[in-house]
Amino acid sequence: MEVDYWVGDYATAEAVARSAHELGGELHHVEPLIRGGGWLGLSLAAMGRTEEAIELNDLIVARAADLDEPRWGAAPLNYSSLAFRDLFLLDEARRRNEAALDLVTKHGEWGMPRMQGAIDLLFTDLMQGDVGRVQREWPVLWDAALDGKAWRPWLGGCRLALVRAELARAAEGAQATVEHAHEAIERARRAHRPKYEAAARALLGEALVVLGRPTEGVGELHVAIETADRLGSPTARWQMRGTLGRALATTGDDDGASAAIAEARGVIETWTATLSPEHARSFLDAEPVRAVLGSGG
C-alpha cells in the first residue's frame, strides 16, 4: 500500500490499505489495523475524500490510544494533517503534527513519523508565511534526511527538495526557484513520486514565465496539470490551474487564462460540494481560493 500511494496509484493504495485494516481488526493484530487504517485515511485524503479521511484518521488515533499503543497514532496524526492543509485550516494541521511529534518523544516511533511530521510543519510554515522558520529548520532536516537510513534519503529528501524550491519562490526570486525546482523534479523522478514532480514543475513553470520564458513555463505548467489530473487530487488540480491562469494572463493570452480559471473554479466547486458546511466555509474563505473565484474571465 505504501508503494502504491507513493507512485500515485491512490485507488489501489486505498483498496490494499482497507484490506489490511479490516483484516487487522478481524485478527486483533495492532499493526495492520492501525497502519492499514492510517494509510487508508491518507489515500482517501489524496483522492479528495476529505471528510472520510478526517473521520477515519481520528478513529485510528483514538483506537491506538485505546489499545495502549499510542506510538502507532503518530503516523495517522501526520497523515490527517494533509486534509487540513488542503482546507487551509493550518492551525489544526500544525496541532496534529505537533501532537505526533509529542507522541514520538514520549513513546518512540516506527518508521519516520518524526521526520515526516517535521517536514509537514515546514509546508505549513510556508503556507502561513513563516519563511524565517523554514530557513532555520530546513538545513537541519536536510542533513538528517540525507545522512539517515532506510527511507529517509529518498523519501524525506524528495519532500525536502520541494520545500527548498517553495522557499526559493517565497524568499529568493525566480532564478533561484528554477534551480531548486529542477533539483526537486530530479529527486521526485528518482523516487517515483509524481505528486512531488508535478508540484515542482508547477513552481518551475511559474518561475520561467516570470523570467520571460513563457513558452517553456506554460509547457511545464501543462505537464504539471496533466500529472495532477492523472493522480486525481483536487487540491493540486485547482491550484495548478489557478497558476496557469495567472501565467497566461501575464502573457496576454486572456482567453487561455479565462479557460484555466474556469476549470479551476469547476474543480473547487465539485470538491467543495463534498465537504461539511463548516469545512466548506473555511476553505472558501481562504485567500488563495478567493483569489481564484474572484478572478476575471
Exposed, middle or buried by CB within 10 Å (0-12, 13-18, 19+), for 294?
exposed
- What pLDDT does residue 21 have? 81
Alpha carbon separation from 67 to 7, 33, 63, 109, 171 (Å, rounded): 32, 11, 6, 16, 45
Alpha carbon separation from 104 to 28, 75, 97 (Å, rounded): 23, 9, 11
| Residues in the chain where the model's pLDDT stays below 70 | 1, 25-28, 110-111, 296-297
Q: How far apart are CA 166 and CA 202, in angstroms?
A: 11
Q: How far apart are CA 23 and CA 4, in angstroms?
A: 19
CA angle 128, 71, 117 (to 5 degrees): 20
Hey, what amino acid is at 100?
A: A
- What pLDDT does residue 28 have? 66
- What pLDDT does residue 273 have? 98
**In order of start, what are the domains of the chain with their CATH numbers?**
173-284 (1.25.40.10)
- What pLDDT does residue 109 have? 73
Q: Cell 489530473 identifies what position?
A: 229
Q: How far apart are CA 111 and CA 205, in angstroms?
A: 34
Alpha carbon separation from 55 to 38, 51, 203 (Å, rounded): 11, 6, 32
Q: How far apart are CA 190 and CA 196, in angstroms?
A: 11
